[in-house]
Chain A
Amino acid sequence: MNWDVIVSYLPLYKDGLLITLYTGWFGILISIVLGLVTALIVHFKVPVLKTIAKIYIEILRNTPLLIQLFFIYYGIPKLFGIVTDELTCGIVGLGLLGGAYMAETFRSGIEAVDTIQMESALSLGMTRRQAMFHIILPQAVTYSVPAFVANLIFLLKETSVFSCISILELMFTAKDRIAVSSTTVESLFLVVVFYLIVLLPVSIIGSVVERRLRYASFGN
Chain B
Amino acid sequence: MTDTVLTINNIKKSYGDNLILNGLSLDVHKGEVIVIIGPSGCGKSTLLRCINALEPIQGGEIRLDGELIDGNSRNIAQIRQKIGMVFQNYELFPHKTVLQNIILAPMKVQKRSKDEVTEEAEQLLERVGLLDKKDSYPRQLSGGQKQRVAIVRALCMHPEIVLFDEVTAALDPEMVREVLDTMLELAKNGSTMLIVTHEMNFARAIADRVFFLDGGGIVEEGDPENFFTHPKTERAQNFLQTFEYESVKHHDNEY
Contact = CB atoms under 8 A, between A and B. Distances in A.
Interface of A: 116-117, 119-127, 130, 134-135, 138-139, 142, 216-220
B80 A220 contact: no
Nearest to B89: A220
Given A116-B87, A119-B54, A120-B87, A125 B80 contact: yes
A150 to B, nearest CB: 22
B227 interface: no
B89 A124 contact: no
A174 to B, nearest CB: 44
Interface string B117-161: 000000000000000000001110000001000000110010000
Contacts of A139: 93-95
Contacts of A123: 52, 54, 80, 83-85
What 10 pairs across the A-B complex have the smallest Cβ distances?
A: A125-B81, A120-B91, A218-B94, A124-B105, A123-B85, A125-B109, A125-B80, A127-B77, A138-B95, A119-B54
B118 to A, nearest CB: 17
Given A120-B87, A220-B138, A126 B93 contact: no
Given A123-B52, A125-B105, A134-B104, A220 B91 contact: yes
B110 interface: yes
Contact of A126 (B84, B89, B108): B108
Contacts of A138: 95
Nearest to A219: B139
Contacts of B78: 125
B94 A219 contact: yes
Given A125-B77, A126-B77, A217-B139, A117 B93 contact: yes
A220 B81 contact: no
Contacts of B138: 218, 220
B164 interface: no
Which residue among B52, B90, B93 has the maximum number of chain A CB atoms within 10 Å of its CB? B93
A74 to B, nearest CB: 46
Contacts of B110: 125
A130 B109 contact: yes
Contacts of A121: 93, 105
Contacts of B154: 124
Interface string B70-106: 0000000110110111010111111100000000110
A125 B105 CA distance: 7
A217 B95 CA distance: 9
A116 B85 CA distance: 12
A220 B137 CA distance: 10
A139 B139 CA distance: 14
Nearest to B79: A125
B29 to A, nearest CB: 22
Contact of B108 (A117, A130, A142, A216): A130
Given A119-B54, A217-B139, A124 B109 contact: yes
B94 A220 contact: yes
18 contacts: A117-B91, A119-B87, A123-B54, A123-B83, A123-B85, A124-B104, A124-B154, A125-B77, A125-B78, A125-B105, A127-B77, A130-B109, A134-B108, A135-B93, A139-B95, A219-B94, A219-B139, A220-B89
